[in-house]
Amino acid sequence: MRSLIDILDLNTDEISQLIDKANDIIANPAKYCEKCKGKKLATLFFEPSTRTRLSFEAAMYELGGNVLGFSAAQNSSAAKGESVADTAKTTSCYADIIAMRHPKEGAPLVAAMNSSVPVINAGDGGHNHPTQTLTDLLTIYREKGRLDNLTVGFCGDLKFGRTVHSLISALSRYQNIKFVLVSPEELKLPSYVKDVLKAKNLEFVQTTDLDSVMPELDILYMTRVQRERFFNEEDYLRLKDSYILYTERLINAKSDLAIMHPLPRVNEISVAIDEDPRACYFKQVLNGKFIRMALILMLLEVE
Ligand code: NCD
């Protein structure tokens, strides 16, 4: 039995298999509509979510399975003081697979250690978000036809942005990726993620200036400033609008730039850009469902 807690729990061959499977699901959805008949997915969400939870649930329904769970900590026995370990033991009596989101880093790992069914990390604090990374990799592959030889810009809250941490860690295993890290001084990439790049001798630059690096980017991954991880509101208010992508900023960008964002968007991308063919963030939303279908099939060992 396998869980997915960190994106590195999957090797690059397995990631390729998941991408191939997701592409096959997109091409032949009818083939998959009964694959998980009789199976149940539990979504245990101790933190707000729209896309991640709904895409997991839609994924399981489209595989013919069923879904149970809760969407807020206050609706669960966590509000009475129950531990993550006990919640996981309990849920594994009722469900065949669990997707868990939690504000505490490491909570899904604790759940996996106490569960008799696979656990998927659906985001743990400011740490990791491996299924968003699978979504992002599928999107990059579908847009660019490759996962190597890319210059990838990450912009915004690189300190608390868990999607950034997992995607950088995933991309560090592909050939000739250049990482361009754009953030305010206070929101730079944490050293534990930077150490991965240094240890592998990978090329990266850190800057506060988005416009100066725009022309070289193949991918621009915008992020929201993570208000809920800040210790004080003043710092958040000062930093929240550090980078706003508006149309004029794309004048010197490549014509085949892929503009990505895990969403939710607050103010980081002007809605006018939604009409630009380079905008990929709503494609990511849809891809998220297909790659989660592929992941559920893999972890449940369904042929
Ligand atoms: C992200 C998350 O929850 O980390 N959202 C998502 O899952 N698509 C990004 C964010 O909240 O900013």
Angstrom CA distances, 234 to 182, 229, 230, stand at 21, 13, 9
Q: Is 260 found in the same domain as 295?
A: no
Q: Evaluate if residue 216 carries a pLDDT over 90.
A: yes
Same domain, 276 and 225: yes
pLDDT surpassing 90 at residue 27: yes
Q: Report how far residue 100's alpha carbon sits from residue 46's, in angstroms, rounded to the nearest whole number.
A: 8
Which of 50, 129, 260, 282 most suits a substitution to test ligand 1, by most atoms within 8 Å of the C-beta?
Answer: 129
Question: In angstroms, what is the span from residue 264 Cα to ligand 1's centroid?
Answer: 6
- The model's pLDDT over 266-293, given as tens digits with 9 standing for 90+, comes to 999 999 999 999 999 999 999 999 999 9
Q: Is residue 164 situated within a structural domain?
A: yes
Beta bridge partners of 259: 220, 279
Domain CATH for 47: 3.40.50.1370
Q: Are residues 87 and 168 in the same domain?
A: no
Does residue 168 sit in the same domain as residue 264?
yes
Q: Rounded CA gap, 97 and 56, in Å?
A: 11
In the predicted structure, residue 303 carries a pLDDT above the cut 90? no
Closest protein CA for atom 6 of ligand 1: 262
Best residue among 163, 223, 260 to mutate for probing ligand 1's pocket (most ligand atoms within 8 Å of CB) is 163
51-57: average pLDDT: 98
Same domain for 137 and 105?
Answer: no
The pLDDT tens digits of the residues spanning 238-268 come to 999 999 999 999 999 999 999 999 999 999 9
Q: What is the mean pLDDT of the chain?
A: 97
213 and 142 in one domain? yes
Token pair, residue 158, equals: 């690189």
Is the per-residue pLDDT at 223 higher than 90?
A: yes
Of all protein residues, whose CA lies closest to atom 7 belonging to ligand 1? Answer: 52
**Gap from CA of 262 to ligand 1 centroid (Å):** 6
161 and 269 co-located in one domain = yes
Residues 122, 169 within the same domain: no
Separation of alpha carbons 102 and 100, rounded Å: 6
Q: Is the pLDDT of residue 228 over 90?
A: yes
Residue to mutate (ligand 1; options 51, 263, 287, 291; most atoms within 8 A of CB): 263
> What's the pLDDT band for 131 if we cut at 50, 70, 90?
very high
Is there a domain that residue 195 lies in? yes
Q: How far apart are the first and last CA of the chain?
A: 15
The answer to whether 117 touches 148, Cβ cutoff 8 Å, is: no
Altogether, the residues listed in the chain come to a count of 303
Per residue in 137-194, pLDDT tens?
A: 999 999 999 999 999 999 999 999 999 999 999 999 999 999 999 999 999 999 999 9
Domain span at 273 = 131-284
248-to-168, 253, 257, 270 alpha-carbon distances in Å:
28, 10, 14, 10
Structure confidence by residue, pLDDT tens digits, 94-130: 999 999 999 999 999 999 999 999 999 999 999 999 9
Cα 50 to averaged position of ligand 1 atoms, centre (Å):
9
Rounded to whole angstroms, the Cα distance separating 275 from 278 reads 8
| pLDDT mean over 214-232 | 96
Residues 47, 114, single domain; the answer is yes
The set of residues, in sequence order, having a beta carbon less than 8 Å from that of 160 and lying 6+ positions away, is 126, 187, 226, 229, 230
Assigned domain for 110 exists: yes
Residue 66, beta-bridge partner list? 40
For the CA of 101, the nearest atom of ligand 1:
3
Tell whether 121 and 187 lie within a shared domain.
no
Which residues have any ligand 1 atom within 6 Å of their CB? 51-52, 123, 129, 132, 162-163, 224, 262-264
Q: Residue 108: how many CB atoms within 10 A of its CB?
A: 31
Residue 262 CA, closest ligand 1 atom number: 8
| pLDDT over 90 at 213, yes or no | yes
Q: Is 2 a domain residue?
A: no
Contacts of 70 (CB under 8 A, 6+ apart): 43, 44, 45, 76
- Give me the amino acid identity at 225: V
Mean pLDDT calculated for residue range 234-240: 95
What are the backbone dihedrals phi and psi of residue 39, each rounded to the nearest 5 degrees, phi first?
Answer: -95, 150
Q: Clarify whether residues 95 and 206 are in a common domain.
A: no
Q: Indicate if 43 and 116 belong to the same structural domain.
A: yes
Number of domains in the chain: 2
Among 218, 226, 223, 262, smallest CA distance to 245 is for 223
**pLDDT(215) > 90:** yes
What span, in angstroms and rounded, lies between the C-alpha atoms of 103 and 229? 9
Residue 1, domain member (yes or no): no
Q: What is the mean pLDDT of residues 203-225?
A: 97
The whole-angstrom separation of Cα 154 and Cα 172 is 14
